[in-house]
Amino acid sequence: MKREAPIELTPEEFRALGHRLVDDIAAFLGSLPGRKVTSGDQPSRIRSLLGTSSLPASGERPALLLAETQRLLFGHSLFNSHPKFFGYITAPAAPIGILGDLLASAANPNTGSFVLSPAATEIEAQTIRWIAELIGYPAECGGILVSGGNMANFICFLAARRAKTPWDIRTKGIGGDPRALRFYCSAEAHTWVQKAADLFGLGTDAIRWVPTDAGLRLDPAHLAAMIEEDRKNGHLPFMAVGTAGTVGTGAIDPLADIARICRDHDLWFHVDGAYGAPAAALPEAPPALRALGEADSIAVDPHKWLYAPLEVGCALVRRKDDLKSAFSYQPGYFRFQGDPGDEPTNFFELGMQNSRGFRALKVWLALRHVGREGYIRMIGDDIALARHLFACVKNEPELEAGTLGLSIATFRYVPAALPAEGAEAYLNTLNSTLCDELQRGGDAFVSNALLGGRFFLRACIVNFRTTEEDCEALPRIIVELGRKVDRRLRPH
């Protein structure tokens, strides 16, 4: 008997729906520059569009369903693929990656093990080697793709914890030794450090915050002293984190100094390169960034500066075995050994996931589509545009320039006349109101940074669609809105 599954589409139905969808997506991508960056909808508006009906009892026609869903998504989203999206370190989706995700779902390999995903596993392994090569890390390193920067940092954190604890932490846990684990980073490090310390049982007191210099870079002069002090107090320092491109201002910690201190004190040296690591590919890369080649592990985020569609992060470890020794269990129901001399990679043993999707394809396709040269050009252009934006800001009397690091520029609106008293507090209110209104209005999208308690606007360019004109328009948009907000907050 022929089975009729309600979820099945015939090849003819699939083709018609797919052609239509691809046509609509192409039109959407072409229409982006003319759209608002965001619809700025409140949650209640979206909820009312979705309605309150309960789970549909029976099915709907897929053509209508896809058309309606497009209206919802294209009409009520924030588009990080928009040329005037300067908000967070979030990239537009590389078009080849959009197609790659479709193809990956069609093949649908389970990349947990080699037998379940022969081509996909090797494509992932090659993608990892290519990412390492691009940023100047040894290509014979180990690695795994995960969902993003946080997860990549967690993988490296757990590899470090396993490698640097002299007892069997995987059976005894962190209580297997009376010494408390300690690790080091600056206060500019991303919040993954708190999550890791908390989730993996160390507690956030395990984080030792190293002071920063005037450029918001970790000050290595303090690092060695803090490690020695902790040892004297009976703690167990195990890792130091250098950030290659801080999320706030794009600062690069002095990676070579941190590497040396880690060597001298037998600590694991981890680099959070979620944002900045790909910039190490540039011939003119800052020397501090080059030193990421000395790290024991690195987190890279292909959904940032490699412009892959969400989600994909990448953890790299210098010694391949460090992932297996931190994560591998071999349950009896998995029989995934290969032939001697031709051992398969089974990614379930190298990280936290069991079943895994084919995240590598969109990254691998993009790396092949544009090559090293293409990335060097796009990343270089993003950095040059951030500089251009910063120069435009400096030419604008009502804007105060803040910081410029990698492709992040910070600045704030300062009206011609300020209140005689409480000027700083007023500027904070003014700029945070301005930021909220800009974010909802959709003419452009920026986020914010706090610089010594002062509220600055923050423009990040990790966007191959942003042009010089977009950068020149941004200060004008902000000044115009700033004047309006100032008049409303302080009627003259």
Ligand X SMILES: *Cc1c(COP(=O)(O)O)cnc(C)c1O
CB of 469 to ligand X, least distance (A): 27
Supply the DSSP symbol for 415.
-
Burial class (CB in 10 A: 0-12, 13-18, 19+), 352: middle
Pick from 254, 271, 251: which is nearest to 153 by CA?
271
Residues 183 and 240: beta-carbon distance below 8 Å = yes
CB of 277 to ligand X, least distance (A): 9
Largest Cα separation within the chain, whole Å, is 86
CB of 11 to ligand X, least distance (A): 37
By beta-carbon proximity to ligand X, the closer residue of 192 and 269 is 192
By beta-carbon proximity to ligand X, the closer residue of 149 and 309 is 149
DSSP 188-230: TS-THHHHHHHHTTS-GGGEEEE-B-TTS-B-HHHHHHHHHHH
Pick from 198, 132, 206: which is nearest to 164 by CA?
206
By beta-carbon proximity to ligand X, the closer residue of 83 and 149 is 149
Pick from 356, 351, 378: which is nearest to 366 by CA?
378
Which residue shows structure tokens 């690695």? 143
CB of 394 to ligand X, least distance (A): 25
Residue 311 preceded by cis peptide, ω within 30: yes
Distance CA 130, CA 118 (A): 19
By beta-carbon proximity to ligand X, the closer residue of 89 and 206 is 89
Computed from CA positions of residues 133, 134, 136, 137, in that sequence, does the dihedral angle turn out positive or negative? negative
Which residue shows structure tokens 């008293």? 421
CB of 334 to ligand X, least distance (A): 29
CB of 253 to ligand X, least distance (A): 11
Structural Rg of the chain based on CA atoms: 25
Q: What would the two tokens of residue 457 be?
A: 């606007």
CB of 281 to ligand X, least distance (A): 17
Residues 338 and 279: beta-carbon distance below 8 Å = no
Strand-pairing partners, residue 411, are: 401, 457
Strand-pairing partners, residue 273, are: 300
Distances (CA, A) of 141 to 54, 129, 130, 290, 353: 50, 7, 11, 17, 20
By beta-carbon proximity to ligand X, the closer residue of 407 and 466 is 407
Residue ranges binding ligand X (CB under 6 A): 89, 148-150, 190, 192, 243, 247, 272, 274-275, 301, 313
CB of 464 to ligand X, least distance (A): 18
Distance CA 318, CA 298 (A): 9
By beta-carbon proximity to ligand X, the closer residue of 306 and 479 is 306
By beta-carbon proximity to ligand X, the closer residue of 111 and 150 is 150
By beta-carbon proximity to ligand X, the closer residue of 309 and 415 is 309
CB of 315 to ligand X, least distance (A): 12
Supply the DSSP symbol for 250.
-
Residues 335 and 98: beta-carbon distance below 8 Å = no
By beta-carbon proximity to ligand X, the closer residue of 109 and 148 is 148
Q: Report the side by side order of strands in the sheet with 408-413.
A: 399-405, 408-413, 454-460, 447-451
By beta-carbon proximity to ligand X, the closer residue of 134 and 299 is 299
CB of 292 to ligand X, least distance (A): 12
**Nearest residue (beta carbon) to ligand X:** 149
CB of 480 to ligand X, least distance (A): 30
By beta-carbon proximity to ligand X, the closer residue of 192 and 327 is 192
